[in-house]
Amino acid sequence: MVSAYSDDDHHDGVGSRAALRRLLPLLKPYRGWLLFCLALLAVSKGLYLIGPNLMRRAIDVNIPAGDYRGLLVTVGLYVASSGLFLVINYLFRVRMEIIGQQTMTALRKRLFAHVLRMSISFFDRHPTGRLMARVESDTEALRMLFTNTVVTLAGAVLLIFGMFVWMFAVSPRLALIVGLFLPIMTVVLYAYHRITTPRYLVVRKRMADVTAALTEFLQGVPVIQIFNRGRQVRRRMNEINRAKYRPQLQAELSVVAMFNLLFFVETVIMALVLYVGARWVGVGQVSLGTLVMFIGYVRMFFEPIHMAAEEIAVVQKAIAGAKRIFHLLETEESILEPVRPVVWPSLESAITFDKVWFSYGNDGNYVLKDVSFTVPKGQRFALAGVTGGGKSTVINLLLRFYDIQKGRILVDGVDIRNITTDDLRRKFGLVLQDIFLFPGTVATNVSLSANGFDRSRVVEACRAVSADRFIDRMPKQYETELSERGANLSRGERQLLSFARALVFDPQVLILDEATSSVDPETERLIQEGMAALMKGRTSIIIAHRLATILNVDHILVIREGEIVERGTHRELVARNGYYTKLCKLQFSAGNGEEVKRAC
């Protein structure tokens, strides 16, 4: 449980600057709108800066002269500039939100499409929870960067620049007092960035651990409850949460310390401006309105700095998310498509394994060793043996979920590595031992929501495997909604639907991986009757522990520890009195003696 994590737990993939540079092309389609938004931002900040100047005018010009009509004009300009600021800022925010949402939607589509192209070995290394974190939470962090953080930082730069231009134009000496603190602010923000960056990288990784653990444990709740493993799971979840607690606490305390430091510096600057400015007002070097304007600007000055400091945390989260996203996008597909693919229209002669060797870890620990056999078109072949012998691995290699290390797998004499995976796999119909049904109706689960699919084909496939017997009893029949993973069906009913799903696409080669291992005797009888007719004239490969399901196939391959130790028909193998006979007697020993005698 939550143990086998991927390499990206320990590698950040690309650097921070490289990650930010790679984000820029995502915004390329919106260059025009971004320039428009930048113009709106500049106008809105200019309007925001007008307020303190209008206060200076009211105090220094209108009030001393008793010009209340002029004061009314000044107040009207203040209200108008504030209202116009709100309108422009609203338009700016709306447009930036649209750009951010559209950009992240495109990135999510790209990520999801990339993940779907990955081979099965990729999912062996990457837990579902971590992939969910990449596609959803990491892209959400990037959306916040686009729609909030960049806006805040750009606005802060424009606001600070505009304030200093205005302050120096009105009173260079007072502006110099405020400006002396800019280098200090720069050093503080840089130090804060350097301290928090590694901490937020760790936090993002620990958050992915929590997501992965929650996904795995919640999916396994029935198993946890049945085997009374609640205490162990809670202990493991507590360990994962504790691993996240310290780095997150350190990161958040850094933010608190930063804000306290900024507040202290703001207090010092405000005190200096107030003290020095008041003395200069007393000797007539600065007007009272100018002092009030500077006090307003000092508050404005620290507002964007506070926001920038707060947004640095968001920047770190976004950069960490970007690095992980691009690391995922840079992960290459281990199953490479041929440069010049061979077109394979249909199975004409045979499927051949030619001296195949395979190891899941590429570490020399071979699961299959020098496996060779041929399945002629139209024949029914079975793979028999104990669990872990390599039977399912044969199917994984045939469908090119993994690539072999040695040997060849041929269809009609063509190496499957020279055929595109889409072209190869569409010829096969696969029924797995682990049945997966999606939320949706019975019909959409059988057809897998294929566009333009004829409903009659769905009904026909369900009838062929006797699934119509329980479907017709359901409230809405083929339009009945299934629960998550088909929880409102029995295991046997789910098995029948998986048969129908394979058959509705009319595969040339039918592959049954432990297809009846979880079916009650009555349902198994129905399946056997349907499958006997369906496999007639169709190339079929059957994997089974239960030898009763393969007594009448054309050929049986007995696999033991990755090697084919025996081959032949059931009668031929029993006559040899070898390993297959031993398996046969072990399985049929639970029945009566006459059944053992007939079968073995």
Please give the helix or strand (H or E) that residue 71 lies within, else none: helix 68-117
Among 358, 376, 378, 360, smallest CA distance to 368 is for: 358
Q: What is the pLDDT of residue 11?
A: 45
Report the C-alpha gap between 471 and 462 in whole angstroms.
9
7-42 pLDDT per residue, tens: 444 444 455 566 667 777 777 888 888 889 889 988
- Work out the mean pLDDT of the chain and round it to a whole number: 77
Report the C-alpha gap between 89 and 31 in whole angstroms.
19
Residue 430 has pLDDT above 50, yes or no: yes
Q: How many CB atoms lie within 10 A of CB 340?
A: 5
Of these ranges, 13-27, 300-314, 448-462, 559-573, the one predicted with the greatest mean pLDDT is: 559-573
Q: What is the pLDDT of residue 260?
A: 81
296-312 pLDDT per residue, tens: 888 877 777 777 666 76
Q: Percent of the chain, pLDDT > 90? A: 2
Partner residues linked to 375 by β-bridges: 351
Q: How many CB atoms lie within 10 A of CB 32?
A: 8
Report the C-alpha gap between 458 and 164 in whole angstroms.
73
Cβ neighbours of residue 81 closer than 8 Å, sequence gap 6 or more: 47, 50, 51, 54
Q: What is the pLDDT of residue 1?
A: 41
Pairing, β 380-384 against β 350-358? unpaired
Identify whether the C-beta of residue 368 lies closer than 8 Å to the C-beta of residue 395: no
Q: How confident is the model at residue 2 (pLDDT cuts 50, 70, 90)?
A: very low
Among 504, 491, 532, 499, smallest CA distance to 431 is for: 499
Question: Which tokens belong to 62?
Answer: 């209108």
Please give the helix or strand (H or E) that residue 347 lies within, else none: none
Q: How many CB atoms lie within 10 A of CB 278?
A: 12
Residue 76 has pLDDT above 50, yes or no: yes
Would you put residue 514 in left (φ > 0), alpha (ψ -120 to 50) or beta? left
Q: What is the pLDDT of residue 87?
A: 93
Report the C-alpha gap between 577 and 582 in whole angstroms.
7
Among the ranges given (274-283, 367-376, 507-516, 572-581), the one the predictor scored with the smallest mean pLDDT: 507-516
Q: Residue 76: what residue type?
A: G
227-268 pLDDT per residue, tens: 666 777 788 888 888 888 888 887 778 777 877 887 888 888
Q: Is 388 helix (H, G, I), strand (E, B) or coil?
A: coil
Identify whether the C-beta of residue 498 lies closer than 8 Å to the C-beta of residue 511: no
Please give the helix or strand (H or E) that residue 375 lies within, else none: strand 368-376
Q: What is the pLDDT of residue 79?
A: 92
Strands of 414-487 (E only): list them: 414-415, 428-431, 440-441, 481-482
Cβ neighbours of residue 195 closer than 8 Å, sequence gap 6 or more: 254
Identify whether the C-beta of residue 547 lies closer than 8 Å to the C-beta of residue 587: yes
Cβ neighbours of residue 189 closer than 8 Å, sequence gap 6 or more: 305, 308, 309, 312
Report the C-alpha gap between 218 and 159 in whole angstroms.
49
Q: How many CB atoms lie within 10 A of CB 72?
A: 11
Helices of type H across 520-592: 521-535, 570-576, 579-588
Q: What is the pLDDT of residue 8?
A: 46
List of domains in the chain = 7-330 (1.20.1560.10), 350-599 (3.40.50.300)
Quick check: pTM over 0.85?
A: no
Q: Residue 565: what residue type?
A: V
Report the C-alpha gap between 513 and 149 in whole angstroms.
52
Q: Work out the average pLDDT over 126-139.
A: 65
Q: Which residue has the higher pLDDT, 336 or 379?
A: 379
